C-alpha cells in the first residue's frame, strides 16, 4: 500500500515489535484458544467455551504470523485450534451467523495457504450451515437460535456483514451461485434496514420472519436505540466494502463510504475510540477493537476510491493504528495481549480489557499497510 517514508518506517518497526512479541506469546499459549487476559496472561476457551464466536481470531492471528514468518510454531497452533473447533459442528444451539468469524479465520485461512482438503471440507460445511440460516422470504440471515426464553426468529445484526465472505468464498470455491444469492440477499436487506440516513448503522434489527417487514431496532451492544455502537460501525464499514469487493455492486461501496464518513466525523480529537459515539461524555469506556477494525475497513476502502478520498481514509487508518501503538499497546514480552482497552458492550461489565479480536485487527491492519497480510475475507 502506498505510504510516506515516515509511515513506512513506523510500519516496519511496529511489525518488528509484533514479530518479537507474538513468538513468545505463541510459545506460551500453543494449546489454548484465548479470549481475554487476566494479570497479563491469556485465558483459554478451547474446552468449555469452544463454541464462542471469537474462537477463530486466535488461529487467524497464528495464520497471519505464519504467512509473515513461515515459523512452524504458528502453523501448529492454528491447526490445533481449527481441529478443536470441530466440536462446535455438533452443537446446534451454538451454531449461529458467526460461522464466518469462526471458520474463515481458521479452516478457510488454512486451506488458502496449504490446500489441505480437511480444511476445505470444514470451510464448506460452515458455509452450508450459514446458508441454512437464510430466510428466503425476508431475505436475511437469522443471527442466533433461541436464547433467554425467546426465539429471535426475525433478528439480524450488523456484525453479520463480516460473516458474508464465508458465503462468497464458498461460491467462488464451488461455483454454486446459491451462496452468492444468499450473501447478496442479506447484504441488500442490510442496506435497507441497517444504514441510517446520517451514515451510522443500527446494531440489531427485528424483521417479521413471515413477511420480512421491519419490526423495530434494538440498541444491542451500544448505548441505546438510535445510538452508534462503535464496533458495529466498524463491522458495517468493513463488511459493506467486502461485499463490494466480491460482487462489484456499487451500492455496497457507497454504503461503506457513508459509514466511513460518519465514523471519521465522530472520532474524538485524541484518536481514542469510545464504546459508543453517543455515550455520555463523562464515560471512560473505550473500544480499541473498534479502532483497529475500522482502520482495517478504511484501508480496504481506500483501495476502491479516488485519490483524495484514498489519502483521507488511509491516513485516518494510520492515525488510529499509531494511536493504539503509542497509547494502548502492551509491548512487554511478559504479557500475552496487545491492545489493552477493548469493551464487549456498553451495558455489560467487561470494559477496557484485552480481547483477542482487537489484537487480530491490529495485526491485520499493520500487515495490510505492508502488503503482507493473508487476505481472510
Ligand atoms: N459480534 C459480537 C461483537 O462484536 O461483540
Q: Mind listing the pLDDT tens digit for each residue in 170-221? A: 999 999 999 999 999 999 999 999 999 999 999 999 999 999 999 999 999 9
- Catalytic, 184? Answer no
pLDDT (0 to 100) of residue 359: 99
For the question of whether the overall pTM of this predicted structure is more than 0.95, the answer is: yes
Cα within 13 Å of Cα(12), Cβ side: 7
pLDDT (0 to 100) of residue 277: 98
| Residue spans of the chain under pLDDT 50 | none
Residues lining ligand 1, CB < 6 A? 53, 159, 221, 231
Catalytic residue of the set 98, 288, 325, 345: 98
**Residue written as grid cell 518488528:** 16
Tell the residue nearest (CA) to atom 5 of ligand 1.
Answer: 344
Tell the residue nearest (CA) to atom 1 of ligand 1.
Answer: 159
Q: Is 150 helix (H, G, I), strand (E, B) or coil?
A: strand
**168-186: b or e for each residue (b if 16 or more CB lie within 10 Å)?**
bbbbeeeeeeebbbbbbbb
Query: Under 8 Å CB-to-CB from 15, ≥6 apart: which residues?
Result: 68, 366, 367, 370, 372
Q: Is 218 helix (H, G, I), strand (E, B) or coil?
A: strand
pLDDT (0 to 100) of residue 349: 96
pLDDT (0 to 100) of residue 152: 95
From 245, 257, 279, 225, select the one nearest 164 (Cα to Cα).
245
CA angle 289, 82, 112 (to 5 degrees): 85
Amino acid at each position: 500500500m502506498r505510504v510516506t517514508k515516515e509511515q513506512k518506517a513506523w510500519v516496519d518497526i511496529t511489525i518488528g515489535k509484533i514479530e518479537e512479541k507474538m513468538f513468545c506469546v505463541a510459545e506460551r499459549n500453543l494449546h489454548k484458544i484465548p479470549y481475554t487476559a487476566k494479570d497479563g496472561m491469556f485465558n483459554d476457551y478451547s474446552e468449555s467455551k469452544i463454541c464462542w464466536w471469537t474462537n477463530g481470531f486466535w488461529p487467524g492471528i497464528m495464520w497471519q504470523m505464519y504467512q509473515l514468518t513461515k515459523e512452524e510454531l504458528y502453523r501448529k497452533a492454528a491447526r490445533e485450534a481449527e481441529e478443536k473447533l470441530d466440536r462446535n459442528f455438533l452443537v446446534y444451539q451454538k451454531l449461529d451467523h458467526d460461522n464466518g468469524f469462526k471458520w474463515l479465520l481458521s479452516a478457510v485461512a488454512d486451506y488458502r495457504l496449504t490446500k489441505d482438503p480437511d480444511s476445505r471440507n470444514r470451510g464448506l460445511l460452515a458455509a452450508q450451515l450459514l446458508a441454512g440460516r437464510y430466510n428466503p422470504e425476508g431475505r436475511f440471515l437469522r443471527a442466533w437460535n433461541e436464547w433467554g426464553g425467546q426465539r429471535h426468529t426475525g433478528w439480524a445484526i450488523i456484525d453479520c456483514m463480516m460473516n458474508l465472505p464465508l458465503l462468497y468464498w464458498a461460491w467462488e470455491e464451488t461455483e454454486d451461485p446459491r451462496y452468492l444469492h444468499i450473501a447478496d440477499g442479506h447484504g441488500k436487506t442490510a442496506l435497507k434496514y441497517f444504514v441510517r440516513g446520517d451514515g451510522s448503522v443500527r446494531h440489531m434489527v427485528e424483521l417479521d420472519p413471515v413477511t420480512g417487514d421491519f419490526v423495530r431496532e434494538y440498541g444491542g451492544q451500544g448505548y441505546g436505540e438510535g445510538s452508534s455502537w462503535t464496533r458495529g460501525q466498524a463491522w458495517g464499514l468493513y463488511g459493506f466494502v467486502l461485499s463490494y469487493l466480491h460482487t462489484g455492486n456499487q451500492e455496497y461501496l457507497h454504503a461503506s463510504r457513508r459509514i466511513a464518513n460518519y465514523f471519521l466525523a465522530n472520532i474524538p480529537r485524541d484518536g481514542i475510540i469510545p464504546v459508543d459515539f453517543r455515550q455520555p461524555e463523562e464515560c471512560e469506556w473505550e473500544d480499541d477493537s473498534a479502532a483497529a477494525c475500522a482502520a482495517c475497513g478504511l484501508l480496504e476502502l481506500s483501495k476502491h476510491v479516488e485519490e483524495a478520498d484514498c489519502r483521507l481514509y488511509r491516513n485516518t487508518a494510520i492515525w488510529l493504528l499509531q494511536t493504539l501503538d503509542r497509547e494502548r499497546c502492551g509491548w512487554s514480552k511478559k504479557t500475552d495481549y496487545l491492545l489493552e482497552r477493548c469493551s464487549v458492550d456498553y451495558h455489560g461489565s467487561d470494559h477496557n480489557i484485552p480481547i483477542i479480536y482487537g489484537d487480530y485487527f491490529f495485526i491485520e491492519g499493520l500487515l495490510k499497510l505492508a502488503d503482507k497480510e493473508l487476505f481472510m475475507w
